[in-house]
Amino acid sequence: MKNRNTQLTAVLFVVALALAPIVQAAQQPGGIPTRPPANEAPRPDGGPISAADPTSPQYEQMPVIIINSTGDVRRGKTGSFVLDMKPRLMFGAMFVNFKVSGTAIPGVDYVALVSPAYIGQSGYGTILVQTLPDPRGSSNRQSYSVVITLDPGLGYVIGQPSSAIMWIKP
């Protein structure tokens, strides 16, 4: 029986250590947490704290999302944009809003893209751009651009670079 109590104590200790960073628990000699909950901590100027406030402790802990292009793509091929989230979410995923612009026309030069994009538990996500054959004819040898710009949303912050470009080559 003594061995089981030791095992239970060890398991509880490991769980407590694993949960401490998540709840940001730290004890002072008096047993009071050193950092009050974010919704109770006043800002230095005395104003209320909100998730969109860069001085908010909650804002500091939000994942930062950036975007990069994997490069230019030829017609009839598939190109991609890579979303990178730091820090990655340990037990979940994230949906990120984006806008599409550029000289390429959705439905003519590439299959239309739909926002939001999914970022998995790994911290990475992709936006695939499937290009279409050129309906303008082979005499037109022009490249067209696809630009993805990240939009703000709940639960994340936009980092730099916040947009990326890909060229659809003939």
Contacts of 34 (CB under 8 A, 6+ apart): 26, 27, 28
Most confident of 37-41, 48-52, 88-92, 128-132: 128-132
CB of 71 closer than 8 Å to CB of 164? no
**Domain housing 110:** 62-169
In a domain, 1, yes or no: no
User: Are 42 and 114 in a shared domain?
Assistant: no
Percentage of the chain surpassing pLDDT 70? Answer: 64
Q: Closest Cα to residue 118, out of 98, 99, 97, 95?
A: 95
CA-CA distance, 65 to 123, in Å (whole number)?
9
User: Are 142 and 76 in a shared domain?
Assistant: yes
CA-CA distance, 7 to 53, in Å (whole number)?
45
What is the domain count for the chain?
2
- Report the predicted TM-score, pTM, of the whole model to 2 decimal places: 0.64
